[in-house]
């Protein structure tokens, strides 16, 4: 009988003992936990520093910009990611005729107020600043055709735009497009720019806003920067630069510009 009692006692489950076995996996294997968490923390910190650096670089120096439409073809195509030089006009320089610029169109091209809540706008701006999505609908990319004081007339007998009385041969205009189908004769106010898209038949630009508040003229202080390079896709790596089309155009006062 003593033997049977001993067997019965052995078959009973042992009483769980307190200690690391009843805790989490991390508590049971503290060394393994440290090895897993340490590198991940360092990687997360490094990623945060890199993102912060890219955002600061984008905000102050060079900003990627995703081209959302064909209004600047053939110079810029849909899906191109260009690099906008934000220092180009920071030290006394001004936008020049022929420059391709990115600008905020509120007050000149649109009266739209920012949409959505502040947090959503901030997140969208941060993602757009990295060139991962297209910018808000208030941001545009166009070519400068006239600066403050210029008189711009369209068109002469040869179908060319005239700036300060000089016909301009715009080699960058999309093949098959006329410089403009709508005639105009305007003087650009000081401190503003007259801008057009290279794909004239598909571009909504200063021509379309001549009767709007601001007259379609872009204030110089609304310019984000100058498009200097195409950075993506790899097959389109190139500089953008200005244009020699305006080399013979005189300054508004008559001096050679």
Does 181 participate in catalysis according to the annotation?
A: no
Catalytic one of 58, 86, 142, 180: 142
Q: Look at the block and give the residue holding tokens 């020699």.
A: 244
Distance CA 109, CA 138 (A): 8
**Which tokens hold the place of 21?**
């076995």
Q: Contact, 141 vs 67, CB < 8 A?
A: yes
Residue 85: both structure tokens together: 């030089």
Cis peptide before 233 (omega within 30 of 0): yes
CA angle 88, 92, 97 (to 5 degrees): 60
- Selected catalytic residue, list 58, 71, 180, 203: 71
- d(C-alpha 109, C-alpha 100), whole Å: 17
- For residue 115, the 8-state DSSP code is P
169: phi > 0 → left, psi -120 to 50 → alpha, else beta; which? beta
Active site residue 71: yes
- Do the strands 184-187 and 151-154 form a parallel or antiparallel pair, or are they unpaired? antiparallel
Read off the tokens for 205: 């630009």
- The residues annotated with a catalytic role in the active site are 71, 142
């Amino acid at each position: 009988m003593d033997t049977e009692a001993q067997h019965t006692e052995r078959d009973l489950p042992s009483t769980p003992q307190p200690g690391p076995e009843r805790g989490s996996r991390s508590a049971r294997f503290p060394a393994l936990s440290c090895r897993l968490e340490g590198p991940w923390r360092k990687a997360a910190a490094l990623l945060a520093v890199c993102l912060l650096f890219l955002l600061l670089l984008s905000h102050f120096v060079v900003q990627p910009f995703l081209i959302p439409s064909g209004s600047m073809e053939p110079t810029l195509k849909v899906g191109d990611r260009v690099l906008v030089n934000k220092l180009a006009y920071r030290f006394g320089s001004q936008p020049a005729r022929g420059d391709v610029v990115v600008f905020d169109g509120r007050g000149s091209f649109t009266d739209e107020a920012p949409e959505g809540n502040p947090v959503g706008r901030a997140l969208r701006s941060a993602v757009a600043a990295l060139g991962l999505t297209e910018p808000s609908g208030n941001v545009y990319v166009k070519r400068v055709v006239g600066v403050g004081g210029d008189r711009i007339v369209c068109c002469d007998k040869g179908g060319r735009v005239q700036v300060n009385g000089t016909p301009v041969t715009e080699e960058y205009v999309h093949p098959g497009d006329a410089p403009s189908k709508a005639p105009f004769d305007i003087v650009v106010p000081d401190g503003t720019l007259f801008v057009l898209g290279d794909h004239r038949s598909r571009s909504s630009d200063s021509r379309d806003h001549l009767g709007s508040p601001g007259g379609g003229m872009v204030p110089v202080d609304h310019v984000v920067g100058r498009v200097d390079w195409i950075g993506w896709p790899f097959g389109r790596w190139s500089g953008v630069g200005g244009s020699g089309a305006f080399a013979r155009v005189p300054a508004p006062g008559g001096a050679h510009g």
